[in-house]
Chains A and B, each alone.
Chain A
Amino acid sequence: MSKNSGPAGVKRREFLKILGASGAASATVGCGSGRVERLIPYLVSPDNTVPGVSSYYATTCRECSASCGVLAETRDGRVIKLEGNPEHPLNRGALCARGQAAVQGLYNPDRLRRPRVRRDGQLVDVSWEEALQLFSQRLGEYRGAGSLGNAVFVNNHDAGSLAAFIDQWLGAFGMPPALSWDAEADVAAIAAHRQAYGVAWPGFDFAAANLIISFGADFLDGWGAVVPQQLSFAEARARLAGAPRFVYVGARRSLTGLNADEWIPARPGSELAIVNAIRGSSSTREAAEASGVAVESLERLRRDLTSGAPSIVLAGGAGPNGAALVAAVAQLNQTAGNVGTTIRSDQAVAGYERTAPAAELLAAIERMRAGQVPLLMIRGANPVHGLPRALRVEEALANVPFKVSFSSYPDETTVLCDLILPDHHALESWGDAQARPGIVALQQPAMNPVFDTRATTDVLIAIAKADPSAASRYPMADYRSWLLQRFPGGAPAFAQALQSGIAAGSVAISDAPTRAVPAGPAPTPIDQASGDFYFVTYPSPTLGDGRGANKPWLQELPDPVSKICWQSWIEIHPTSARRLGVRHGDVLRVETSAGAVEAPAFVFLGIRQDTVAMPLGQGHTEYGRYAAGIGVNALDAMAVSTDARSGAAAWGVTRARVTPTGRSEPVVTTEGSARQHGRGIAQALLATELGLPPTAQTTDPGAAVEGELIRGAGPQEPPEEHAPSPPPGQPPTEFLPGLRAPVAADAEGDLTSQAAVETGMYDPKHWSGMANRRWAMTIDLARCTGCSACITACYAENNIPTVGAPHQTRHTPGVPRMAGGNILRGREMTWIRLERYFEGGVNADEDFETRFVPMLCQHCGNAPCEPVCPVYATYHAPDGLNVQVYNRCVGTRYCSNNCPYKVRYFNWFGYGEPDRPQYAFPEPLNWQLNPDVTVRAKGVMEKCTFCVQRIRESEHVARAEDRELRPDEFTVACAQACPSRAIVFGDAADGRWAVARQLGDERRYHVFEELNTYTAVVYLKKVNHPPADAPVGVPVPVGG
């Protein structure tokens, strides 16, 4: 340092003086920054709750008709998370993404807050008294006119005694029974199941089968009770070498199809021909011709079926002649002896009993159009969005003089109604559901109502009480008393069910007589003239028929197949895309005899060349800020037809003309590449390779250049060979996840002082004992189906903001202002993501394999992110966690750049700041936030914490009870939700934990092991079951 600082310079002494002066100035500025924070006490402390400690209420999920059991975690009177009820016979503790997202329905900022009535064409808020009086008055008027017999009540299908209650109420007023509508239910299959098996939805025991064949039955996507089906399917896959081979027959590979070992790409509508050929009632040659499938594939299918007993054959009824197809498949099951072994009517899912066929709803709509219906009441259903546009439901509704909606959301149907009496959310109200035959599940309110809504059941009771003729039949105070009165086992069983969620017994589904199926529009054989493509629609695995679209978690959850979110897309085969001259993202126009839709192309291997497909669920014009204006409704281009046998909707497939529009749209996808490029991220082996030494396992095309790139990729190589010598004070290295390499010690302080290393908490002998635990995770890829429930569970547990809503996207030059704009710019936020990789299928005619890999922070023992952080915001904790300290983080993002797994996500905007447009939790969505986890601010990096708050909470509990942690006494949110039971979390250093046992599996591998990261997340390889005589990679014609 120069003593002479030059003429313009300042001498050192003077510099200090100046610094002192400015320091004093700063001291005066710096004080008094504290914002006033208020502590709001209770007025009266509620009994049996401790502020800051969760209570759990056993109740029932109402997001689909399956009606799984959930435990609602409430903190200080607010539901903050839903978890599967381990005692419930259907979901046994697991919960799907849609079930998790129910809380966003409860706290949806666009929920209707009070009753509304139409005055001069406008819906205006009114008081409940006024609204109920109007309803009573209208009922009286129509009864006076004698027209109540023509009233229509459309109820969103309910698996419990609600249907009976509503029918009873309608009967008291002389109205016909309600129409129990579920747009997602496969009514054709239900009708056929009833005939063949005696129940609407039998239990499918995949684990008991040696072969699974699905004819378009997407049992992992939303076809039936997904969670129990997935639990069973994963059980089956976990049998590894003895697992059943899975063949999927269908025009497109759904999520279910992607999980199949073999795909037989049959022409849409030709499934019946194939089934008939397998049954022997027609020749395989004819079937091959009809379906466009090679004769050999069908022959093999038939051979497999005869040799593979017991098997399980399923069929979806969405196509033309759906019920006939399912019935034919049922006969196949009868002949193969599967009924009773793999198809169990004693384990039926009772939730699908008595769903109304589409024909019934269509007939009601025609009566409305004809002006014969004076009064329409609608609860939870949304036919304006959920039926094909060709039906012109709005016009029919316009001819109904008085329409009452009980919906809590401003959906397309509700905004056309004259009176809205918003219902409670399922988490705010009483109810019950038949889970399985002989087991009733209870639905109880988990919190006080968020808004000024009222349970429809209680509203109906109040209306009846006000009516002189009906009042005598409604002496009960409310619906709870009504339920209690007829609950099997009475009050004691009811009290028991309040605790466990379930009770033995049955609730009568409905007292109303079964009505004959009215004739709907005839099932037209797929019209061959109106185009050269088949146009297939399917319910979205995440949004369902569209009811999930107003929940940002589900909108932001990438579709398990396409990895696209906040958008609609049209799946098209690469060859067809090339023929049309379109690329990924070019907007396609699909024109059918009924209409047209336009959406960007998603070039997808898993679809036939003569088929394009589109998911349902998007294209809302109302339904709140997260749904309206996003994507297009595929039903806009679907013609109306029904299945002749069952009256079920048959608008799953039609013919279409597909043309490029010349426009192009950015595709909001979270996927970088669908291929692994030899990086060995998702590894697999053949069932025949299990138990072989690793050198013999050479068939895995997903593994990196064998032996070279991935050191020790072979599971049975002695790990000691590659493990470095242990650092001072460390136990000898074994194949333990998250072990620290010597270099990692660098980050912990002064290595030159031996004492500093040995007395730290990293020393296993340290009094804290922290280094004796090693939190780790195994993910079994043989079990994982890619369903993505783990992602939503993580969002719910860890206060992860959604970033893609339209209002969160600001205009940036070069990026159109659209939903998902932040994701387009690479600013997605998700601590765990599901990577989906294709193997094979390089030639268009080849079958391919799909691998799903949940990818989260690997909690590396030797983490690349740690040494590059200039402020030590990320470091390796002694118990094996890679910790991100938000307070220290200054947002350089070096860690993310250096992370080989790309699992660190940056807070680009103030997602937690209410005054910013990017605010992710508009009131009351913020009520859901987990108080145990901080909401991260703008400018900090965040990532998976291994649910450290759950680790700490368990430690607190153990400490309070003066004991050690018990093995597997808690788990992380993703593992808890997983309906495949693929994720196991625990202490790898303690052999009593399940995860420690899993680590000995021969299929274990670390992703990017060659980088020496010593990850704490260990994957178990997927196991493939290719057909015996046709290994992976054999050409399968996909052509039209």
Chain B
Amino acid sequence: MRGKWAALPGLLTIAATAALLSAYSGASSPQGRAPEQPIAFPHPQHAAGAMNMNCLYCHYTANKSPTAGIPAVATCMGCHIVIGAQLPEIQKLQTYAREQRPIPWVRVHNLPDYVQFPHMRHVNAGVECQQCHGPVQEMTTVYQAESLNMGWCVDCHIQYRARYDCAICHY
């Protein structure tokens, strides 16, 4: 009798291939991913506590454009030209501003290809930013709080009576 594990290498190969394919297709969700950013931007200090800034102050197109928008370097410098100038992370920011270079933020929430997500429709319908992005105001390093998988989207769409036909998002 041949070893019962004789098929293992074959199956392993198949599994590895499947895993690679699945990785290539982007089917697995990077939930929990918290990439390092060029500047360690602390959301809690801005969006909670004493400051308690509205998300739309920086992500100013979230209610009028498909993209939420990220603040221009000049927007940061509006305050940080004075505030916190001695802090190392702020000095990084000031270097970017001085050298007239945009900050190469790393995208945390990345939808797969072929999906269209109009931010303004959700924001204007009263969906809280935190519902998809998690408690960003408490995140020292922003991580992907939700899976952003399709089932997760559709659950919400059905619950809140939003259209869930494929061609609403996929085109």
Closest to A45 in B: B72
A973→B126 CA distance, assembly (Å): 32
A886 engages B170 (CB within 8 Å): yes
Question: What does the 1/0 interface line of B96-120 toward A look like (CB < 8 Å)?
Answer: 0100111111110010111110101
Closest to B64 in A: A50
B22 in the interface (beta carbon within 8 A): yes
Question: Would A10 and B105 count as touching, CB distance under 8 A?
Answer: no
Task: Please give me the residue from chain B that is nearest to A21 by CB atom.
Answer: B8
Docked pose: A959 CA to B63 CA in angstroms: 12
B167 touches A883 (CB 8 A): yes
B171 in contact with A949 (CB, 8 Å): yes
- For residue B159, give the distance in angstroms from its CB to the closest CB of chain A: 13
Interface residues of A in 860-897 (CB under 8 A from B): 875, 877-879, 881, 883, 885-887
> Once the chains are docked, how many angstroms separate the CA of A708 from the CA of B106?
64
Is the pair B28, A30 in contact by a Cβ cutoff of 8 Å? yes
Q: Judge whether B80 is part of the interface by a CB distance below 8 angstroms.
A: no
Other-chain contact of B112, A43, A887, A952 (Cβ < 8 Å): A887
A137 CB-CB contact with B under 8 Å: no
Closest to A889 in B: B114
A885 x B170 contact (CB < 8 A): yes
For residue B92, give the distance in angstroms from its CB to the closest CB of chain A: 14
In contact, B121 and A959 (Cβ under 8 angstroms): yes
The interface bits of chain A over 735-775 (1 if a CB of B lies within 8 angstroms of the residue's CB, else 0) are: 00000000000000000000000000100000110100000
Closest to B165 in A: A877
> Who on chain A is nearest to B60 by CB?
A45
Q: Check if B104 sits within 8 Å of A38, measured CB to CB.
A: yes
A22 and B11 form a contact (CB under 8 A): yes
B4 and A34 contact, CB distance less than 8 A: no
Shortest C-beta distance, B170 to chain A (Å), equals: 5
**Do the beta carbons of A22 and B14 come within 8 Å of each other?**
yes
CA distance A945 to B107 in the complex (A): 29
Contacts of B30 in A (CB 8 A): 33-34
Residues in B whose Cβ lies below 8 Å from that of A7: 1-2
CB proximity of A349 to chain B, nearest CB, Å: 39
**Contact indicator A33/B24 (Cβ below 8 Å):** yes
A945: chain B residues within 8 A (beta carbon): 167, 171
B168 located at the interface, meaning its Cβ lies under 8 Å from any Cβ of chain A in the complex: yes
Partner of A23 from the list B15, B97, B107, B170 (CB cut-off 8 Å) is B15
- Whether the pair A881, B167 counts as a contact (CB closer than 8 A) is yes
At the interface, yes or no: B61 with Cβ under 8 Å from chain A?
A: yes
Q: Which of A7, A29, A883 has the most CB of B within 10 A?
A: A29
* Chain B positions within 8 Å of A875 at CB level: 166
Interface residues on A, range: 35 or more
Q: Which residue of chain A lies nearest to B69 when distances are taken between CB atoms in the complex? A: A51
B151-170 Cβ-contact flags toward A at 8 Å (1 or 0)? 00000000001011111101
B114 touches A38 (CB 8 A): no
Task: List chain A residues, Cβ under 8 A from B105.
Answer: 38-41
Indicate if A44 sits at the interface (CB-CB under 8 A): yes
A887:B114 contact, CB within 8 angstroms: yes
Contacts of B167 in A (CB 8 A): 877, 881, 883, 885, 945, 948
A18–B3 Cα distance when bound, in Å, is: 12
Contact in complex: A51, B67 (CB < 8 Å) = yes
Give the distance in Å from the alpha carbon of A25 to the alpha carbon of B20 in the complex.
12
Among candidates A15, A43, A878, A881, residue contacting B73 with C-beta atoms closer than 8 Å:
A43
CB distance from A467 to the nearest CB of B (A): 35
Given A33-B28, A51-B65, the answer on whether A886 and B114 have CB atoms closer than 8 Å is yes
Q: Which residues of B contact A937 (CB under 8 A)?
A: 113
B28, A44: Cβ atoms closer than 8 Å: no
Chain A residue at minimal CB-CB distance from B22: A30
- Rounded to whole angstroms, the CA-CA distance of A44 and B33 in the bound complex is 29
Q: Which of B18, B24, B64, B102 contacts A26 (CB 8 A)?
A: B18
Q: 8 Å CB contacts to A: which residues of B72-96?
A: 72-75
Query: Chain B 1-35, CB within 8 Å of chain A: the 1/0 string?
Result: 11011111001101110111011101010100101
Does B42 sit within 8 A of A, measured CB to CB? no
CB-defined contacts of B6 to chain A, threshold 8 Å? 8
Q: Is A138 an interface residue (CB 8 A)?
A: no
Q: Is the CB–CB distance between A761 and B106 below 8 Å?
A: no
Flag whether B54 is at the interface (Cβ < 8 A). Answer: no
B102 touches A41 (CB 8 A): yes
**Residues of chain A from 396 to 421 with CB closer than 8 A to chain B in the complex:** none
Among A38, A43, A761, chain B packs the most CB atoms within 10 A around the CB of A43
Beta-carbon contact of A41 and B73 below 8 Å: yes
Q: Are A43 and B171 in contact (CB under 8 A)?
A: no
- What's the nearest-Cβ distance from chain B to residue A740, in Å? 14
Known contacts A45-B75, A877-B167; is-contact A26 B19 (Cβ 8 Å): yes
Asked if A53 and B12 make an inter-chain contact with CB atoms under 8 angstroms apart, the answer reads: no
A36 touches B171 (CB 8 A): no
**Contact status of A960 and B116, CB under 8 A, knowing A27-B19, A43-B74:** no
* A949 vs B114: C-alpha distance when bound (angstroms): 12
0/1 string, B133-163, CB within 8 A of A gives 1: 0000000000000000000000000000101
Q: Are B124 and A959 in contact (CB under 8 A)?
A: yes
B72 to chain A, nearest CB (A): 4
For A941-980 the 0/1 string (1 means CB < 8 A from B) is 0000100110010001001100000000000000000000
- CA A948 – CA B114 in complex, angstroms? 13
Chain A neighbourhood of B61, CB < 8 A: 50-53
Report yes or no: B163 in contact with A768, Cβ–Cβ below 8 A.
yes
Q: How far is the CA of A42 from the CA of B163 in the complex (A)?
A: 34
Min CB–CB distance A377 → chain B (angstroms): 37
B165 touches A770 (CB 8 A): yes
Which residues on the A side are within 8 Å of B115 (C-beta)? 887
- Shortest CB distance A282–B (Å): 64
Q: How far is the CA of A233 from the CA of B30 in the complex (A)?
A: 58
Q: A30-B28, A44-B72, A886-B114 are in contact. Are A761 and B165 (CB under 8 A)?
A: yes
A910 to chain B, nearest CB (A): 13
A932 within 8 A of B: yes
Instruction: Say whether B70 faces chain A, with CB atoms less than 8 Å apart.
Output: yes
Q: Is A659 an interface residue (CB 8 A)?
A: no
Partner of B163, one of A39, A770, A932, A934: A770
A485 to B100, CA, bound (A): 35
Instruction: Please determine whether A42 and B72 come into contact, CB atoms closer than 8 angstroms.
Output: yes
| Residue pair B33, A877 in contact (C-beta under 8 Å) | no
Within 8 A of B (CB), among A36-85: 36-45, 50-53
Contact of B171 among A42, A50, A761, A948 (CB under 8 A): A948
Once A34-B110, A53-B65 are accepted as A-B contacts, the answer to whether A42 and B102 lie under 8 Å apart by CB is: yes
Interface centre among B1, B105, B114 (most CB of A within 10 A): B114
Task: Say whether A885 contacts B166, CB under 8 Å.
Answer: yes
Tell me, yes or no, whether A1029 is within 8 Å of chain B by CB: no
**Cβ-closest chain B residue relative to A761:** B165
Query: Shortest Cβ distance from A831 into chain B, in angstroms?
Result: 13
Question: What residues of chain B lie closer than 8 Å to A36, measured between beta carbons?
Answer: 35, 106-107
Shortest Cβ distance from A934 into B: residue: B114
Q: Contact check, B8 vs A18: say whether CB atoms are below 8 A apart.
A: yes
- Interface membership of A19, Cβ < 8 A: yes
A390, CB-defined interface residue at 8 Å: no
Q: A29-B19, A36-B107, A39-B107 are known; give 4 further A-B pairs, CB within 8 A.
A: A33-B30, A38-B105, A41-B73, A956-B118
- Kindly list the 3 A-B residue pairs having the minimum CB-CB distance in the complex, ordered from nearest: A33-B23, A52-B65, A26-B19
Which residues of A are interface residues toward B (Cβ below 8 A)? 7-8, 10-11, 14-15, 18-19, 21-23, 25-27, 29-31, 33-34, 36-45, 50-53, 761, 767-768, 770, 875, 877-879, 881, 883, 885-887, 932-934, 937, 945, 948-949, 952, 956, 959-960
Question: What are 27 A-to-B residue pairs whose CB atoms are below 8 Å?
Answer: A14-B4, A15-B7, A22-B15, A29-B23, A30-B19, A30-B28, A33-B28, A34-B33, A39-B104, A41-B73, A41-B102, A41-B105, A42-B73, A43-B101, A45-B60, A50-B64, A51-B61, A51-B67, A52-B66, A53-B64, A768-B161, A883-B166, A887-B112, A887-B115, A948-B171, A952-B168, A960-B120
Chain B contact residues, CB within 8 Å of chain A: 1-2, 4-8, 11-12, 14-16, 18-20, 22-24, 26, 28, 30, 33, 35, 60-61, 64-67, 69-75, 97, 100-107, 110, 112-116, 118, 120-121, 124, 161, 163-168, 170-171
